[in-house]
C-alpha cells in the first residue's frame, strides 16, 4: 500500500483539491476499503458502486434513522428540526415510503414534462449573460451559474418571488450538515437554523396555495396530502428538499463543467461549432467532474459486495466520482471527450434514488452551455486566481471561478 491510501483523511487538502487522483489510488489498491477514520467502507469501483446503488433491498438510505440511533434523547431534542424535516426527505427514505413520494413527484420531472421549461430557461440564460457580456469578465458562479437554477426551481414550485439571497444563505446552512466534517462542532445547530428559517418562510406559501390551488408542485403535494397519500410533513419536507437540492448541485456542475472545458479548449471549440453535441457533452461533464462526489448507504443485513463482507449496520461511502473514472467501465477515464457514447455514468446515482431533478438539471446545464459557447470565446482564468474547493466529501464545489473572455459578435 502507498501513502495516499493509508491516509484515510477524506478531507485532506490534497484530496479536496484533486479527489480523482485519490480515488484512482484507492481503487487500484482496494476497491472496497475500510476507512478507519470515517468508520465505514469506501467504494471506488464502478461495478461495486452500481451494485450497491441498485440494491435498495439490502442497502438503506435511512440516514436519519441511523443518526437517531447514535444520539441520546437529549442530543436528538437539541436538533429537533433536522429530524422533523430531513427525516421526511425522500432521498433518506427506503421503500415503501420512498416509492409513494417518488411515483407522485416523478410525473412532474419526466424528460417530457421538463422539456416545456426550455424556453424559460433559455431566456434566463440570455438575460443573465446580457448583464456581463460587455465587461469581458465575470465571476462565473455568482454572476451566472447561480442565477439559472435558482430562478428555475422557484418558478417550478410556483414561487418566483421568493427572496433568493435569503434562500441561498439558509441552503448553505443546511448544507453544513452534509459536509461530513467532524471539526465543525456546531454543524448540526447551523443546519437547524437554516431549516427553521426556510420552514418559517415557506409555510405561509404552502397555506396560501392550499386556499388557492394552481398547477404548480406545491399544489400537487397538497392535493396528495388531502387525498391521504402523503402527510403534511412530507409536503413541507419535500418543498425544503427541492429548494435546497434544486440549485446548488446544478450551479456547481455549471462551474465544474466550464472549468473542464477551459482546460480542454479544443473541446470548447468542438461544442461551439457543433451544438448538436450538447446533450452528450453534458453527460460527459457530469461524468468527468460531477458536482456530487459521493453518497452514503447502510447495510441492512450482512451482505457481500465484491469480495468483502459488509456487516449489518455498517455504512458505505459510495464514491460516484470514483466510479465515473473507473477504467474498467470508461476507456481513458481521465480524458474529457464530449462525444463519449455510451456514457452510463453515476453522477445522478443509480437505482431507486436516482436524481429526481436529473432531467431538469440536464436541461439547465445544456442551455447554460448553449448560451456560453454561442456568446463568448473559450474563457481563461483571471490572473492570479487559485482554484479553491469547499472542504466537503459530498460536494465538488469551487468557491469562485473568475474568468475573462471575449464576447462573440
328 near another protein, judged by CB under 8 A: no
**Total Cβ atoms within 10 A of residue 275:** 14
Comparison of 25 and 252: residue with beta carbon closer to ligand HEM: 252
One residue of 185, 204, 342, 384 binding another protein per CB under 8 A: 342
Give dist(CA 353, CA 295) in Å, integer. Answer: 11
Q: Please identify which residue in the block is written with the cell numbers 403535494.
A: 221
Comparison of 63 and 353: residue with beta carbon closer to another protein: 353
Give dist(CA 259, CA 17) in Å, integer. Answer: 14
Give dist(CA 125, CA 275) in Å, integer. Answer: 16
CA dihedral 350, 352, 353, 356 (to 10 degrees): 100
- Closest of 345, 83, 105, 354 to residue 217, by C-alpha: 105
Least distance from ligand HEM to the Cβ atom of residue 208, Å: 21
102 near another protein, judged by CB under 8 A: yes
Q: Which stretch binds ligand HEM (CB under 6 A): 80-88, 111-119, 237-245, 263-271?
A: 237-245
Where in 115-134 is the site for another protein (CB under 8 A)? 115
Least distance from ligand HEM to the Cβ atom of residue 409, Å: 31
Q: CB under 5 to 8 A by kind: which of ligand HEM, another protein, none does 241 bind?
A: ligand HEM
CA atoms within 13 A on the CB side of 254: 31
Give dist(CA 272, CA 68) in Å, integer. Answer: 50
- Closest of 245, 232, 212, 205 to residue 221, by C-alpha: 232
304 near another protein, judged by CB under 8 A: no
Q: CB under 5 to 8 A by kind: which of another protein, ligand HEM, none does 129 bind?
A: none
Comparison of 171 and 295: residue with beta carbon closer to another protein: 295
x/- letters, 253..292, toward ligand HEM (CB under 6 A): x------------------------------------xxx
Residues 6 or more apart whose Cβ sits within 8 Å of residue 71: none
Q: Which three cell numbers stand for residue 52?
A: 450497491
Where in 267-286 is the site for another protein (CB under 8 A)? 279-280, 282-283
Residues binding another protein: what is the number (CB under 8 A)? 34
Three-class DSSP category at 150: helix
Q: Which three cell numbers stand for residue 151?
A: 430562478
13 near another protein, judged by CB under 8 A: no
Residues forming beta bridges with residue 265, ordered by sequence position: none
Where in 296-335 is the site for ligand HEM (CB under 6 A)? none
Q: CB under 5 to 8 A by kind: which of another protein, ligand HEM, none does 32 bind?
A: none
18 near another protein, judged by CB under 8 A: no
Whether 192 contacts 404, CB under 8 Å: no
| Residues of the shown chain interacting with another protein in the complex, contacts defined by CB under 8 A | 50-51, 53-55, 99, 102-103, 106-107, 109-113, 115, 279-280, 282-283, 342, 344, 346, 348-352, 354-356, 358-359, 362
Amino acid at each position: 500500500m502507498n501513502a495516499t491510501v493509508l491516509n484515510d483523511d477524506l478531507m485532506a487538502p490534497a484530496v479536496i483539491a484533486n479527489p480523482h487522483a485519490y480515488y484512482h489510488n484507492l481503487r487500484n489498491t482496494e476497491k472496497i476499503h475500510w476507512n478507519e477514520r470515517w468508520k465505514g467502507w469506501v467504494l471506488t469501483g464502478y461495478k461495486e458502486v452500481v451494485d450497491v446503488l441498485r440494491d435498495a433491498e439490502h442497502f438503506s438510505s435511512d440516514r436519519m434513522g441511523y443518526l437517531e440511533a447514535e444520539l441520546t434523547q437529549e442530543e436528538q431534542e437539541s436538533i429537533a428540526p433536522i429530524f422533523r424535516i430531513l427525516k421526511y426527505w425522500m432521498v433518506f427514505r427506503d421503500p415503501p415510503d420512498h416509492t409513494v413520494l417518488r411515483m407522485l413527484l416523478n410525473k412532474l420531472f419526466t424528460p417530457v414534462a421538463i422539456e416545456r421549461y426550455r424556453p424559460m430557461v433559455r431566456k434566463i440564460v440570455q438575460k443573465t449573460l446580457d448583464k456581463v457580456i460587455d465587461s469581458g469578465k465575470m465571476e462565473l458562479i455568482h454572476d451566472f451559474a447561480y442565477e439559472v437554477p435558482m430562478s428555475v426551481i422557484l418558478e417550478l414550485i410556483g414561487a418566483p418571488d421568493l427572496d433568493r439571497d435569503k434562500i441561498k444563505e439558509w441552503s448553505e446552512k443546511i448544507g453544513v450538515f452534509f459536509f461530513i466534517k467532524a471539526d465543525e462542532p456546531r454543524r448540526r445547530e447551523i443546519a437547524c437554523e437554516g431549516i427553521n428559517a426556510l420552514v418559517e418562510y415557506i409555510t405561509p406559501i404552502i397555506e396560501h396555495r392550499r386556499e388557492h390551488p394552481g398547477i404548480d408542485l406545491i399544489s400537487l403535494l397538497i392535493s396528495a396530502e388531502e387525498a391521504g397519500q402523503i402527510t403534511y410533513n412530507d409536503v413541507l419536507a419535500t418543498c425544503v428538499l427541492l429548494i435546497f437540492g434544486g440549485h446548488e448541485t446544478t450551479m456547481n456542475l455549471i462551474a465544474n463543467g466550464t472549468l473542464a472545458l477551459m482546460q480542454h479548449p479544443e473541446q470548447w471549440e468542438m461544442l461551439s461549432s457543433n451544438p448538436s453535441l450538447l446533450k452528450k457533452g453534458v453527460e460527459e461533464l457530469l461524468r468527468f467532474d460531477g458536482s456530487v462526489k459521493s453518497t452514503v448507504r447502510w447495510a441492512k443485513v450482512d451482505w457481500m459486495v465484491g469480495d468483502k463482507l459488509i456487516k449489518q449496520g455498517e455504512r458505505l461511502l459510495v464514491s460516484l466520482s470514483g466510479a465515473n473514472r473507473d477504467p474498467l467501465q470508461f476507456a481513458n477515464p481521465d480524458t474529457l471527450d464530449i462525444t463519449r457514447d455510451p456514457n452510463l455514468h453515476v453522477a445522478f446515482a443509480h437505482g431507486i434514488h436516482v436524481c429526481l431533478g436529473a432531467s431538469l438539471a440536464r436541461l439547465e446545464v445544456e442551455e447554460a452551455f448553449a448560451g456560453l459557447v454561442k456568446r463568448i470565446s473559450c474563457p481563461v482564468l483571471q490572473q492570479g486566481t487559485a482554484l479553491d474547493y469547499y472542504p466537503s466529501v459530498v460536494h465538488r464545489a469551487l468557491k469562485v471561478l473568475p474568468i475573462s473572455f471575449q464576447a462573440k459578435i
